[in-house]
Structure 1
């Protein structure tokens, strides 16, 4: 299927690595011009697109700075992918997370999307564009080790539906892609989820990573890849299913057993 994204402009947050980088690569391959924002611009992102901005999106002004850069470089925004997020691991569960931890997680996993969307919406409305927010199955299946992240992603899911309801009549489509575990740095990096689970279980890290699908009850027995998510995002931002709005698309290998 040809997605016909030539001439479209896309803004991606957290684009330097992992899921964000794969989305950037996929949209570029489909013909879109992509602006990638991240605190640190990776060599991989630089080779993917000429339009990058090093910016701290966790600050109050960072998202608007990135949007202003995209507008100045490309003249407008057709596609916004709110990918930025991070699951802070909490081995001690709920009682180990103080107000500072909650605010940090809500800022990173919810308010960055709020601020970026608020800044980009005038251009997206003008172009009747699309927004995709990267959610998580933790919005439906919260766990103590990421209790604050789970709550933030549940709020993000709700935000997406509210935006779709308000701006759908103006031609803007807003959808959420909710992923189960994806083997990016959040899982495999030092101090990541795999390290936390390994410490709790007494297994080594590689053993934990190999058992993730079984531990979660995945029906496919496989971990989700960043490329899968990027392909779905690309389909959603194209107008091949123009009535897809306000929906959540889950990619988790069958982990979630209920709606």
Structure 2
């Protein structure tokens, strides 16, 4: 089998790291971009580039490096995101916070996809965007991230429409709450919500599924999101393009 090359952005930990591992297990040569590469990432793939993907030239640098090293790209996974979490809502967000959130979450995908498309068209490849259920379910504490993820989902549909006839499939995965360090790291959104509820981050993780009304009574694991990416990349259902696949434990239900 010819070498299949995948590029994953925001690959250092959490969902991105799980995607790198799953694609590598599926036989891909995985090129990973991360602002802060971790030892776990370097164990998952030897092809790691330290890069700020929120910066204007960062995504192009990653794609150029991948093409220079491996000749082309079969799969692009736009996973990197940046968020501002205003405890007091919209009025706490200044222009700098909005710019950072959109540069990291949305413009990184625009720039990476623009750079990768010539190779993806040549190889009849695929793009998978990692969105969020908050693109459909806006929340005040996630107002900037919700807007950026909604823009990302819309971008995926537009790209699928424009480039589907040239063999490129574009789909978006919409995870709900995923068990990552977002919920455990000091100062993170999970920590802030736990304190507000008079709980600890570990205890709050156990309480969260009921708080959010998850039918499955558990958070999604990063490996479950990664499994969807592998499925979409496989081409087993080649007529799926422009779709949004929700994995949220029943959080959205009928929305």
Is the TM value for this pair above 0.5? yes
Unmatched runs of 5 consecutive residues or more in structure 2: none
Contact 1:78 / 1:124 at 8 angstroms: preserved in 2? yes
CA distance in 2, matches of 1:175, 1:127: 17
CA distance in 1, matches of 2:58, 2:127: 19
Runs of 4+ in 1 over 4 A off after TM superposition: none
> Shift in Å at residue 45 of structure 1?
1.4
CA distance in 2, matches of 1:133, 1:114: 11
Give the corresponding residue for 2:118.
Answer: 122
Give the corresponding residue for 2:140.
Answer: 144
CA distance in 2, matches of 1:71, 1:156: 24
Q: Which structure 2 residues correspond to residues 43-192 of structure 1 after superposition, within 5 A?
A: 43-192=39-188
Write out per-residue CA displacement over residues 47-82 of structure 1, whole angstroms, 9 at most, x where no aligned residue: 111211111111100110000100011110000000
> Alignment partner of 1:220: what SS?
coil
CA distance in 1, matches of 2:183, 2:149: 17
Give the corresponding residue for 1:205.
Answer: 201
Contact 2:106 / 2:149 at 8 angstroms: preserved in 1? yes
Given the alignment, which residue of 20, 23, 29 partners 1:24? 20
> Alignment partner of 1:224: what SS?
coil
Contact 1:8 / 1:32 at 8 angstroms: preserved in 2? yes
Q: Tell me the number of residue pairs that the alignment of Structure 1 and Structure 2 aligns.
A: 255
TM-score (ref. length: structure 1) = 0.96
Given the alignment, which residue of 205, 208, 213 partners 1:217? 213
> Shift in Å at residue 88 of structure 1?
2.3
Contact 2:32 / 2:48 at 8 angstroms: preserved in 1? yes
> Shift in Å at residue 216 of structure 1?
0.8
Contact 1:133 / 1:160 at 8 angstroms: preserved in 2? yes
Contact 1:180 / 1:252 at 8 angstroms: preserved in 2? yes
Q: How large is the Cα RMSD of the aligned pairs?
A: 1.2
Contact 1:163 / 1:174 at 8 angstroms: preserved in 2? yes
